[in-house]
A and B are shown apart, each in its own frame.
Chain A
Amino acid sequence: MSAAKSITVNDQLRRSEAATIADLVRELGLKPEKVAVEHNGVIAPRSTLEDVPLGDGDVLEIVHFVGGG
């Protein structure tokens, strides 16, 4: 396992040892199949979440569907 990385998730700084984006999503208590992720300003296709490595300094936006009109 790699050392803890410093990342930004939805504007919040945090430390994580997750190896991939999917690992991070699970670490946050969320299901990868219910969210969408922007990784350093680029959409991370859902099919690649298990494969994209998380790097030190990465910036992520994690969103999902909520009620709206």
Chain B
Amino acid sequence: MTEMPTITTDSAPDDSWEVAGQRFTSRLIVGTGKYKDFAQNAAAVEASGAQIVTVAVRRVNISDPSQPVLMDYIDPKKITYLPNTAGCFTADEAIRTLRLAREAGGWDLVKLEVLGEARTLYPDMRETLKATEVLANEGFKPMVYCVDDPIAAKQLEEAGAVAVMPLGAPIGSGLGIQNKVTIRLIVEGAGVPVLVDAGVGTASEAAEAMELGCDGVLMNTAIAEAQDPIRMARAMKHAVLAGRDAYLAGRMKTRKYADPSSPLAGLI
């Protein structure tokens, strides 16, 4: 194959994306849970190239305040902290958590997730929609974890979500994108960034999300539970870049049968 290369850099040079007025070059958002320790976590974030990390809001450890904390390892001045509402099962719990997060961090960009049940960690969309409206009215910029339903995604956008983040598969399952059609429909209908959040297990699945036209991918377990998290973080970085480039390049049409790549003319 000797097609002329026109792109000489690692990725399209100005292919950044914007959410709630903030511009990022990396389209990969990574979580900070489940790592062996903070040092491994920080190394994985570095290897992933991520500019945004999700963080949880929890009670401080009063009995042992000298324990190391996340901020000692991942500098919130260099990496954008995206506080989440993991573990919240009602709109009120999620709103309370994010009000505290805004005070702890001093920023409005947050990740909203309101869970419906512990077994599947599927979002409760009624509570999620309610919380999105309240948060948007209070000046928050909620990026919202949701079901892979194009109608629900649109409703969230109308309620003030600055990004919609449909699950590819249940949180922490690593099953990959189960319904490519609904993800594509969400992308086609959305006026805000779409990120696949949850379900990605390996690099090809991150690339797949990007090939479907998503603006980004959010993941935690796929990296943290890999045998070598730092190497997987790097794999994910490349997968997201590759998937994005493939999407922008526009893939070939599929055919039912073979089509030779070498000319038939001049065959000896």
Contact = CB atoms under 8 A, between A and B. Distances in A.
Interface of A: 9-10, 12, 28-30, 34-38, 43-46, 61-69
Nearest to B223: A69
B219 to A, nearest CB: 8
Contact of B104 (A12, A36, A68, A69): A36
B221 A69 contact: yes
A66 B70 contact: yes
Taking chain A's interface residues, is the majority helix, strand, or loop, or is none over half, making it mixed?
Answer: strand
B103 A45 contact: yes
Interface of B: 31-35, 38, 41, 54-60, 62, 65-66, 69-71, 76, 81, 83-84, 86, 96, 99-106, 171-172, 219-221, 224
Contacts of A35: 60, 104
B104 A30 contact: no
Nearest to A11: B59
A66 to B, nearest CB: 5
B66 A65 contact: no
A56 to B, nearest CB: 19
Contacts of B31: 67-69
Contact of B58 (A43, A64, A69): A64
B100 A43 contact: yes
B62 A43 contact: no
Contact of B103 (A12, A28, A37, A69): A37
A46 B100 CA distance: 10
9 contacts: A34-B71, A36-B100, A64-B57, A65-B81, A65-B101, A66-B57, A67-B55, A68-B84, A69-B84
A64 B62 CA distance: 12
B71 A69 contact: no
A36 B101 contact: yes
A50 B206 CA distance: 46
A9 B62 contact: yes
A63 B60 contact: yes
Contact of A69 (B33, B38, B96): B33
Given A34-B69, A64-B69, A69 B62 contact: no
A9 B61 CA distance: 11
B86 A62 contact: no
A68 B33 contact: yes
B55 A65 contact: yes
